[in-house]
Amino acid sequence: MNLRAYVVGPANSDSQQEWMARSCFYANRLRYREIIEHFKQAGFTVQRIERRRWSALPLRRGALTPAFRQLHDDELRTKEFDVVLRPA
């Protein structure tokens, strides 16, 4: 699962479009641990997870939305993961 978001279609506003063009990075707001928890709540058992991470945070912490600034680096560095699920 790729946690990096890809923008399809027009941005919500001119300022958002300008920001994305300048930053070259637009992160998905769904977090790795939240997605795993949703799988479990939907009745799946997680069999295996393989995570891929950035070696360092891809953005300055100050550039993140306030709710994300408080997250642990390990959570923020997860960019992709593969997961094997089985019905519980």
3-58 pLDDT, tens digit each: 765 444 444 555 555 555 555 555 567 788 999 999 999 999 999 999 999 898 88
Structural tokens at position 76: 């923020």
Report how far residue 53's alpha carbon sits from residue 31's, in angstroms, rounded to the nearest whole number: 13
State the pTM of this model: 0.68
Contact of 49 with 83, CB cutoff 8 Å:
yes
Contact of 24 with 52, CB cutoff 8 Å:
no
